[in-house]
Amino acid sequence: MVTIFAIAMAYMESATVVYLRTIFHITGDLLTFSPNPHSVWLSLPYFTLLKTDALLKVLPQPRIAATEVAREAATIVMLLCLGWLAGHSVKTRAAYFIYAFGVWDIAYYGFLYALIGWPTSLKSLDVLFLIPSPWVAPALVPTAISAGMIAVAALLLWTDRG
């Protein structure tokens, strides 16, 4: 049931992104601007954390940007609740949370590709998350991390079989 919930949630999330891309007339890669060095809080290979003010370059309408931040917070709350309901201890609740997060994130990219043909490759840059400020990386990064999260969750649940 956790897997089914995470996949259904991924579809809703990807549908929301399809609507946002339509509203803002984004047809290819989301990042059509190069952040200036003053907009970057942290830059590592394959990952950039932008300063909060850069959010309005990604989603130029403040009301939509604020709504998106709240929607992302709600997404995390939903995944935490799912983990809480599925697990029976702190360990299994955490495992179900990270498992659901991983499944949700991978399915999200799968649905985006099925719906709009994006990302065109795992090298396509994406805005991964907006909390506390925009995270930017190629789609490969969250996909690989999500696969790792699923593996860690499986290990946690397997060692809990006791």
pLDDT digits (tens, 9 = 90+) for 2-55: 999 999 999 999 999 999 888 877 776 655 556 677 778 887 888 888 887 777
**What residues contact 90, with CB distance under 8 A and at least 6 apart?**
none
Q: Report the first-to-last Cα separation within the chain, whole angstroms.
A: 22
Fill in the amino acid letter for 143. T
- Whether 48 maps to a domain, the answer reads no
What pTM was computed for the model? Answer: 0.89
Angle subtended by helix axes 62-86 and 90-116, to nearest 10: 130
- Whether 145 maps to a domain, the answer reads yes
Tally the domains of the chain: 1
- Whether 11 maps to a domain, the answer reads yes
- Whether 55 maps to a domain, the answer reads no
- Whether 83 maps to a domain, the answer reads yes
- Whether 24 maps to a domain, the answer reads yes
Query: What per-residue string of b and e applies to 134-149 under the rule 16 or more CB within 10 Å gives b?
Result: bbbbbbbbbbebbeeb
Q: Which domain holds residue 88?
A: 2-35+62-121+140-159
Which of the 8 DSSP states describes residue 35? P
